[in-house]
Amino acid sequence: MKEKPETTAHVSVKEYCFSKKVVKGVVEASDFKWSFTWSFGQGKLFVKPPLGRALIEDSLLRFLLKKDYEIEAGNEYKFTISAKF
């Protein structure tokens, strides 16, 4: 039986400001590294640099929405993506 492809993404939250409704951090998966800003007040996620952004953007947003009230600045998190990259 063939194993499902997957990649573990590591998220480091650098800033969480409830009054500004913004979360900032870094996400790493495989050889890729991105910085992100989640403006949860506006419902927008910004990921930089654009190289490989399509690989992580949807999965990261789902993770952030799911863990919204558990996220704290200075903490590390991880989640699994159903793709190999």
pLDDT tens-digit readout, 51-75: 989 989 999 999 999 998 899 999 9
Sequence spans of domains, the chain? 15-77
Structure confidence by residue, pLDDT tens digits, 23-58: 999 999 999 999 999 999 999 999 999 998 998 999
Sequential DSSP letters for 40-76? TTTTEEEEESSTTHHHHHHHHHHHHHHSGGG--TT-E
Residue 81 confidence (pLDDT) above 90:
yes
pLDDT of 1 strictly over 80: no
Which pair of structure tokens corresponds to residue 36?
């992100």
Assign 85 a pLDDT band (cuts: 50, 70, 90). confident
Residue that the structure tokens 């790493």 belong to: 28
pTM of the model: 0.91
